[in-house]
């Protein structure tokens, strides 16, 4: 399972009402750290497909989502559970750190 692209139209259904926790990557194409993080998120999506959805929001295409969730730096990762943000990480995070940060919430 790869990461899932979400839009303003699909955000509520894909993220807020998901029966699994959803890690949302707020990213931009011009953001070098975002590109560094992308393969880590793809791996995480594949490895944790049974208990986690990894979604991506292009903040240039959907700035209203970034504004709604207070995203001001990129990449920003927000973990949603039952429609609420339960954890936030900012910046390109190494996989081992990302997994450790998420462990308490999965």
The whole-model pTM stands at 0.96
* ∠ CA 69-74-76, rounded to 5°: 50
CATH 3.40.30.10 fits domain 4-103: yes
Question: Which is catalytic among the residues 31, 36, 38, 99?
Answer: 31
| 45: its two tokens | 């999506």
pLDDT values of the chain reduced to their tens digit, one per residue, 106 residues = 599 999 999 999 999 999 999 999 999 999 999 999 999 999 999 999 999 999 999 999 999 999 999 999 999 999 999 999 999 999 999 999 999 999 988 8
Q: Is 98 left (phi over 0), alpha (psi -120 to 50) or beta?
A: alpha
Query: 34 an active-site residue?
Result: yes
Question: Which is catalytic among the residues 6, 15, 24, 34?
Answer: 34
Query: 28 an active-site residue?
Result: no
- Sheet (strand 84-90) strand order: 4-5, 53-58, 22-27, 76-81, 84-90
- Rounded to the nearest angstrom, the gap between the alpha carbon of residue 55 and the centroid of all alpha carbons in its chain is 5
* φ/ψ of residue 33, rounded to 5: -60, -30
**Residues 6+ away with beta carbon under 8 Å from 30:** 60
């Amino acid at each position: 399972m790869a990461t899932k692209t979400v839009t303003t139209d699909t955000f509520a259904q894909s993220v807020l009402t998901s029966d699994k926790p959803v890690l949302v990557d707020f990213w931009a194409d011009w953001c070098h750290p975002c590109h560094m993080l992308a393969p880590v998120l793809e791996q995480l999506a594949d490895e944790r497909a049974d208990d986690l959805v990894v979604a991506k929001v292009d903040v240039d295409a959907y700035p209203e989502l970034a504004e709604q969730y207070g995203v001001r730096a990129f990449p920003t990762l927000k973990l949603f559970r039952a429609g609420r943000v339960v954890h936030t990480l900012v910046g390109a995070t190494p996989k081992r750190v990302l997994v450790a940060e998420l462990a308490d919430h999965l």
